[in-house]
Amino acid sequence: MLTITPIYAALIAILYVWLSAKVISARRSGKVSVGDGDDKALIKAMRTHSNCAEYAPFALLLIAMVELQGAPSLLVNLLGLLILAGRLMHAYGFGRNPQVVVLRQIGMVLTFAAILVSAAANLVLAL
């Protein structure tokens, strides 16, 4: 049974909805209904949102499998914190104007760490 991963999934879902609201706001400001209208603010909002959509589900799936295989709760929480911190830092760093490049970079390092450590843990636990 999953008891830890849903917490991180819920928190990342809240981040995702917030990023979605930023896209909607940028669309309204730029009066762009479809596409990006070559609006730089909208493009940035869309890519920030898309980046979360591209990485978070895969990481959460791996973390859920680690938890389902009976990994210690400390490991599951560590993985959840890695992906949550990574996604928050990336969204903030990339979404700012100008970008806070170091936060964007740290966010991606944490995201990749969550994915790679989760993948390794899944292999170890499954074998």
Phi, psi of 61 (to 5 degrees): -60, -45
The pTM for the full model equals 0.93
Q: Which of 78, 87, 75 is nearest to 112 (CA)?
A: 87
- Asked if pLDDT for residue 37 goes beyond 90, the answer is no
- When pLDDT is cut at 50, 70 and 90, the band that residue 32 belongs to is confident
Tens digit of each residue's pLDDT (9 = 90 or more) over 58-73? 999 999 999 999 999 9
Query: CATH: 3.30.460.10, 1.20.120.550, 3.40.190.90, 2.120.10.30. Which one for 5-126?
Result: 1.20.120.550
Q: What is the arithmetic mean of pLDDT over 105-123?
A: 98
Kindly state the tokens that stand for 40. Answer: 């730089």
Instruction: Please report, for residues 33, 56, 85, 111, the alpha-carbon distance to residue 108 in angstroms, rounded to integers and kept in the order given.
Output: 30, 11, 10, 5
Domain boundaries, the chain: 5-126
